[in-house]
Amino acid sequence: MEEQKPRLSNFEVEEKAAEAESILDNPVLKEALDSIHSRALGTLTAEDVGSLTAAHAHAMIKAITELREQLKQYIADHKVRQKYNKGDK
């Protein structure tokens, strides 16, 4: 059974969202992730299906995508909490 994480305070959620926005807006990180994603995509399309190299490229693309989505989720969580706390349920 999965252990439940303690709820974060509004301040912690706000801090996490602000940091996530900062990370997503960082032009150097964005360029680096885009470059890695592009190279991995090129590798994925050039390799045989089922090869270890293709699997590695797919894993890299998935990791970058999941990282971006998780950061966006932190921002969305903060927006939902803000709306809830204002009474706009």
What is the percent of the chain with per-residue pLDDT over 90, rounded to a whole number? 71
- At 15 the pLDDT is 92
From residue 69, alpha-carbon distances to 32, 66, 74 in Å are 17, 5, 9
Q: pLDDT tens for residues 12-38?
A: 889 999 999 999 999 999 999 999 999
**Cα–Cα distance between 14 and 77 in angstroms, integer?**
9
> Which DSSP helix (H) or strand (E) runs through 28?
helix 27-46
Both tokens of residue 27?
């032009």
* Domain map (residue ranges) of the chain: 10-85
**Cα–Cα distance between 4 and 74 in angstroms, integer?**
18
Instruction: Name residues whose C-beta falls within 8 Å of residue 61's C-beta, 6 or more positions apart in sequence.
Output: 37, 40, 41, 44
Taking residues 35-57, what's their average pLDDT? 94
What is the percent of the chain with per-residue pLDDT over 70, rounded to a whole number? 89
